[in-house]
């Protein structure tokens, strides 16, 4: 039985139900009563566990299967007729192969289970830029997470009306065997098939699958950008707010930056959170780039989150939050590494008594919270603005122990696209077991770009060159280390000092007093970043802002090799900018040698 008058949707649900054979079908309306009913069932069957209702009202714990604890990039496929359209950075499967290999796994997969139809809206309710998706899932946990992460239920069906323009996401837990786990994307038909995982980006199909992989292809076709970016508004003491979008690879502190609380020394400034993970950016009729956050909640990494690193996140997750794979204290409070000394008598993320002597973390390093955006104390008043916010600056950043300065500004849009495409980050121990392995991650979109990366970079050039007032583009690196591997920059709230320089540059144009031109871009002058009250010496500041000519020559050489690997669809305009920067570096190296030879008495 369907509860929709939308013919395309009704027919699709019937087709899937015939094949997957659920015991019952439930159409999600997104109401409180429905959520309470789902939670009650999950508490009864053990999918959820209750948490301390005094300290964490409305919060629950879920433990995923221990083999299903993160996105699985090697099992994630883009399914296009031609492999070249998927490109060298994605796993490719032809639609025919997917039909032969993945589709049969759905047969009878929902026997004994409920099929939930989850209609959802990506973006603010009345925004012309919002899009509708429908996820069919056999996981009630997914349904309640989707209710937090998106505008879910009736609101989406109302928006859809009788249109057949929606992204179809089919998800089943299957048997959770990694051998039978696939996450397939069909950009042409705007479909997603995910089987064998109940976790995060693999299962909440609105997020990485739709809002990035499928949306990036829609954006290419429709002239906009779907990006792995936070969005924030920085309000200055005069009450002017400047909006910034920033792309960082996973595990570089995006949520922390999006929710930054200025330290006391920066009183008068305020950061407003518009989004922490995804931005849909559109050229406006005024020639500027406008951004909406398509999501409605935060799916953040728990470990490392505490009152010092991210007080706003801590306030956000105090109620109505689902915790996944965290540890739990004796009095049933959620716990993770970063919250201080482990209390006695804890249960670890697998549900076993926690034994600290084993040296293993109590919470899984990728344990998460799913929390409503509206609960964030710093949520922007523009969060649900149908037009979104105008972006004045775009920031790229990665985790680099050496070479990359604390901040620099690209010369122009095309150079900014090069800077974004050069984005790279050193992996953390938690992710790979090896520290310091450099992973190239153009625009932080390596796992999320739904088409050929060369075409994607071409599209970036096209969108920016069509803007009369493009955002200024910057690169930041909070993670520079000194000789003892100590961090040179304090990071966290103090990053506001760098944001202030960025906003000043973006708003004031070329103010020669606050930057010097170097071969790699504009770098702050020695005193352009406010370091008052910081334990950062001027020598350290100099080191943080130094442009190491020889190091950059090598970096650009290595990047040239990488661009080559991205294939022949990389835009030649990018190679031209690269050559220009290399020439500038050669000139600087030459001037240095000449100066040295003049200075050295013979
Ligand atoms: C995320 C990610 O979960 O980028 O947001 O991995
Ligand atoms: Mn992300």
Tens digit of pLDDT for each residue in 445-481? 999 999 999 999 999 999 999 999 999 999 999 999 9
Q: What is the pLDDT of residue 598?
A: 59
Q: Picking from 23-37, 124-138, 581-595, which range would have the lowest pLDDT averaged per residue?
A: 581-595
CB atoms within 10 A of CB 47: 18
All residues with CB under 5 Å from ion ligand 2: 277
Q: What is the 3-state secondary structure (H, E, C) of 453-494?
A: HHHHHHHHHHHHHCCCCCCEEEEECCCCECCCCCECCCCHHH
Q: Using the mean position of ligand 1's atoms as its centre, give its distance from the Cα of residue 210 in Å.
A: 14
> Going by CA atoms, what residue is nearest to atom 1 of ligand 1?
250
Spatial contact of 573 and 580, defined as CB atoms under 8 Å apart: no
255 lines ligand 1 (CB under 6 A): no
201 lines ligand 1 (CB under 6 A): yes
The packing angle between helices 140-149 and 32-45, to 10°, is 140
**Helical ranges in 248-310 per DSSP H:** 254-258
Q: Using the mean position of ligand 2's atoms as its centre, give its distance from the Cα of residue 250 in Å.
A: 5
| pLDDT surpasses 90 at 154 | yes
Higher pLDDT, 598 or 290: 290
| pLDDT surpasses 50 at 601 | no
Contacts of 341 (CB under 8 A, 6+ apart): none
The per-residue pLDDT of the chain, averaged, comes to 95
CB-hemisphere CA count at 13 Å for 63? 18
168-189 average pLDDT score: 97
* Element spanning 432, H or E: helix 429-432
What's the pTM?
0.96
The packing angle between helices 413-421 and 572-599, to 10°, is 90
pLDDT interval class at 599 (50, 70, 90): low
Spatial contact of 38 and 118, defined as CB atoms under 8 Å apart: no
Q: Using the mean position of ligand 2's atoms as its centre, give its distance from the Cα of residue 445 in Å.
A: 9
């Amino acid at each position: 039985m369907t509860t929709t008058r939308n013919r395309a949707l009704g027919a699709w649900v019937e087709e899937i139900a015939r094949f997957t054979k659920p015991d019952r079908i439930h159409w999600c309306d997104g109401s409180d009563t429905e959520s309470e009913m789902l939670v009650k069932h999950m508490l009864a069957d053990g999918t959820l566990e209750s948490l301390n209702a005094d300290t964490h009202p409305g919060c629950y714990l879920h433990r995923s299967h221990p083999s299903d604890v993160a996105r699985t990039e090697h099992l994630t496929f883009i399914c296009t007729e031609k492999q070249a359209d998927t490109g060298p950075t994605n796993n490719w499967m032809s639609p025919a192969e997917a039909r032969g290999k993945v589709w049969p796994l759905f047969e009878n997969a929902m026997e004994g289970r409920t099929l939930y139809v989850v209609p959802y809206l990506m973006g603010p309710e009345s925004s012309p830029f919002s899009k509708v998706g429908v996820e069919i899932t056999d996981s009630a946990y997914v349904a309640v997470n989707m209710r937090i992460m998106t505008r879910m239920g009736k609101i989406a069906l109302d928006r859809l009306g009788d249109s057949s323009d929606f992204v179809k996401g089919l998800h089943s837990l299957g048997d959770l065997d990694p051998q039978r786990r696939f996450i397939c994307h069909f950009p042409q038909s705007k479909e997603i098939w995910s089987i064998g995982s109940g976790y995060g980006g693999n299962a909440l199909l609105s997020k990485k699958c739709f809002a990035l992989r499928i949306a990036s292809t829609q954006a290419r076709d429709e002239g906009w950008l779907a990006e792995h970016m936070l969005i924030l508004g920085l309000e200055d003491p005069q009450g002017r707010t400047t909006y910034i979008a920033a792309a960082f690879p996973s595990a570089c502190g995006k949520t922390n930056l999006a929710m930054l609380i200025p330290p006391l020394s920066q009183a008068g400034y305020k950061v407003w959170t518009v989004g922490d993970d995804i931005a849909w950016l559109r050229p406006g009729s005024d020639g500027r780039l406008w951004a909406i956050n398509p999501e409605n909640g935060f799916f953040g990494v728990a470990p490392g989150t505490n009152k010092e690193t991210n007080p706003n996140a801590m306030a956000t997750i105090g109620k109505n939050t689902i915790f996944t794979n965290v540890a739990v204290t004796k009095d049933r409070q959620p716990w993770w590494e970063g919250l201080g000394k482990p209390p006695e008598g804890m249960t670890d993320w697998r549900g076993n008594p926690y034994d600290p002597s084993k040296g293993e973390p109590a919470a899984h390093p990728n344990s998460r919270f799913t929390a409503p955006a509206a609960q964030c104390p710093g949520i922007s008043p523009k969060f649900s603005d149908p037009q979104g916010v105008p972006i004045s600056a775009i920031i790229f950043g990665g985790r680099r122990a050496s070479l990359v300065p604390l901040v620099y500004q690209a010369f122009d849009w095309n150079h900014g696209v090069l800077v974004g495409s050069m984005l790279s980050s050193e992996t953390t121990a938690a992710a790979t077991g090896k520290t310091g392995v450099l992973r190239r991650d153009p625009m932080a979109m390596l796992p999320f770009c739904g088409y050929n990366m060369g075409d994607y970079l071409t599209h970036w050039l096209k969108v920016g060159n069509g803007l009369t007032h493009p955002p200024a583009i910057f690169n930041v690196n909070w993670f520079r280390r000194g000789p003892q591997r100590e961090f040179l920059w304090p990071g966290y709230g103090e990053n506001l000092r760098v944001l202030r320089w960025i906003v000043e540059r973006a708003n004031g144009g070329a103010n020669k007093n606050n930057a010097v031109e170097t071969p790699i871009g504009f770098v702050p002058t020695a005193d352009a970043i406010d370091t008052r009250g910081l334990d950062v010496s001027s020598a350290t500041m100099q080191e943080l802002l130094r442009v190491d000519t020889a190091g950059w020559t090598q970096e650009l050489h290595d990047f040239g090799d990488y661009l080559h690997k991205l294939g022949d669809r990389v835009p030649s305009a990018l190679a031209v900018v690269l050559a220009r920067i290399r020439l500038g570096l050669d000139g600087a190296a030459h001037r240095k040698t000449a100066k040295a030879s003049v200075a050295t008495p013979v």
